[in-house]
Structure 1
Amino acid sequence: MVKRRWPPSPGWRTFLRNHAPDIAAMDLFVVPTIGFDLLYAFVIVRLDRRDLVWINVTANPTAEWVAHQITEAFPWDEAPHYLIRDRDQIYGSVVTRRLRAMGIRDKPTAPASPWQNSFAERLIGSIRRECVDHIIVLGEAHLRRILRSYAEYYNRVRTHRSLDKD
């Protein structure tokens, strides 16, 4: 019997390139305060135009809180078809059910593969380098104001090299 040679399946980068207008990515990152408390910032970015869709802060992230943030970020029919996330334990069944209810296909990355969520990771790096590393954070409300101001700058003023500085 002759083995059939199938064309190789498309890779992760091909998937991202083909579906970029319909994909968003989300992630959490930690920001220390002046009192050495840890705050968690949550970001959602759309891949096609690198738009920072949602940013918020909490001292105690829960699956319910993340699910609520997703609902707030995508009102009505603005939800993407796919949402890339890492395999953090914070995204429990509550988040998965919320995504399914909104018609969003959950795309968790492979374990220990941050490069698969490169858009969110790059955004977090930019937030750290351009903003948070230069400011002493006083508390949750202070960080929220800082990050909302940065989001305004990021979406309206800052040029994006990958988009030909558009």
Structure 2
Amino acid sequence: MKVAVAISGASGVRLGIKTYEKIPETYEKYLIVNENAVKVAQKEEKEKIFNNSHIWEKPASGSFGLDALMIVPCSMNTLAKISVGISDDLTTRTASVMIKERKKLLLAPRELPFSPIALENMHKLSMLNVIIAPPVLGYYSEPKNLEDMENFIIGKWFDLLGIKNSLFKRWEG
């Protein structure tokens, strides 16, 4: 399975990086980041990293066969662009391809509260089978620290995409 994580916006970048890092090694994984983050990531990661301004890269093509894309965090700007079909960078182009190919696309919007415009955009995308999954904590997982909270959120996202994981304590009734 080919899985990509795109990081848009500034707040929540840590969660995007952790999501990428927690994808099991049995998956082919890719990271899409903005120019400044690329420089840092290339020094820290040995994985396949794409510059968001390089719209011609492999994930932008349906024939590449990406199975899932997670945009973590997803800025309201990126969400709005995707909802109206603007594909002006690698993240939005790849999202457009995922919708066109009917592949799994998960957006983790990072606003609080959501504006009526953002909610309208999310509703529109959810009607196209895009998964809208803000980073919301489930207290039944009994988190003890920030890492437990992040693992719960990432584990729930992986569940939605069919990525096997044991990152959090599951509900036992």
**TM-score for the superposition, normalised by structure 2:** 0.35
Which protein has greater RCO, CA pairs closer than 8 Å, 6+ apart? 1
**TM-score for the superposition, normalised by structure 1:** 0.36
Higher Rg of the two aligned structures: 1
